[in-house]
Structure 1
Amino acid sequence: MTEEPSRVAVTADAADLLRTLAAQHGPLMFHQSGGCCDGSAPMCYPVGMFLTGPGDVHLATVPVTGIDPIDVFMSTSQFEYWKYTHLTIDVVPGRGAGFSVESPTGLRFIVRSRMLTTPELEFFELIPRG
């Protein structure tokens, strides 16, 4: 069976940090920042600490071995720019964004992106199926 495409993935290093953070904070979620104060950082919050609403798009529910799956959101206006893009959440050394839970760890989440493939574009109904 072929796995359905997802708009979001996490690297092994990001998954390791997420397991550590989930042990401290409980279930987690991401909201992809729109680029103001924190650049374009994926912001990680304990579930319930950041409220999403009708102005947000649910991009994916990402499975991470050993913890609850992580929902990833982005504002609708930003999604219009990024809808043809696959995001991979990774970590690098540095200080995390102000309210993101990884801030004190010495690591920060970043997003790497690539254009969706033709099969992904078809799956997400961004182009007609060939």
Structure 2
Amino acid sequence: MRRSDVLRQTRTRDRRGRCCGTRALMPDRSVRGAATDSARTLLRRLIEQHGPVLLLLRSGAATPICLPARDFHPADGDVLVTRLPWHTEFWMSEDNYMRFTRDHLTVDVRSEITEDAPTTSLEAIEQSRFVLRVRPLDATEAAAAAAAPPPRTGADRLR
């Protein structure tokens, strides 16, 4: 069974607080990445305005940029790190992927725009920018990442 097919379970309770079973939640997208509520809200707005989008962390960049999915032409070494809400793919260059191999990446939003912020990114219109919060994978996440198949690359996407 693929990791993405595994459903997380949560206990449900009746009105008196007694446990009455489990229910499936959203499929586990990835142990490597997530998005905050503010990032999910901004992604939804951008998708409503521009259609499908994706995030890309280019080589040497500190923050990801948001592009219309139709405008992205991955290089062979680009790596698909995770899928965020609403089928939003998060890609990065091979050197960044190697840099973050043992890390969990959380996509967040800052409402400030600085001079070094990429103006070609879709969220700049919203006076915001996507940023990454990085933390080491815990033991469970590291084991799941090690057991997962290798990530897709730009070379795979072109086939």
TM-score range, shorter chain: 0.7 to 0.9
Query: What's the counterpart of residue 94 of structure 2?
Result: 76
Deviations 1:69-107 (A, max 9, x none): 101111112211111011111111122522110112111
Query: What's the counterpart of residue 74 of structure 2?
Result: 52
Once the two structures are TM-superposed, the CA of residue 14 in structure 1 deviates from its matched residue by 0.7
Q: 1:98 aligns with which of 109, 113, 119?
A: 119
Q: Distance in 2 between matches of 1:124 and 1:83?
A: 9
Q: Give yes or no for the alignment of 1:43 onto 2:68.
A: no
The number of residue pairs the alignment matches comes to: 119
Q: Distance in 2 between matches of 1:99 and 1:51?
A: 16
Write the mapping of 1:21-36 to structure 2, written as runs, cut at 5 A. Answer: 21-35=46-60
| TM-score normalised by structure 1 residue count | 0.83
Q: Distance in 1 between matches of 2:38 and 2:91?
A: 21
Query: What's the counterpart of residue 116 of structure 1?
Result: 137
- Structure 1: gaps spanning 5 or more residues: none
Q: Distance in 2 between matches of 1:50 and 1:100?
A: 12
Over the residues paired in the alignment, what is the CA RMSD in angstroms? 1.7
* Structure with larger Rg: 2
| TM-score normalised by structure 2 residue count | 0.69
Mean Cα deviation higher: 47-56 or 9-18? 47-56
Query: What's the counterpart of residue 88 of structure 1?
Result: 106
Once the two structures are TM-superposed, the CA of residue 15 in structure 1 deviates from its matched residue by 0.8
Q: Distance in 1 between matches of 2:77 and 2:70?
A: 17
Q: 2:42 aligns with which of 11, 14, 17?
A: 17
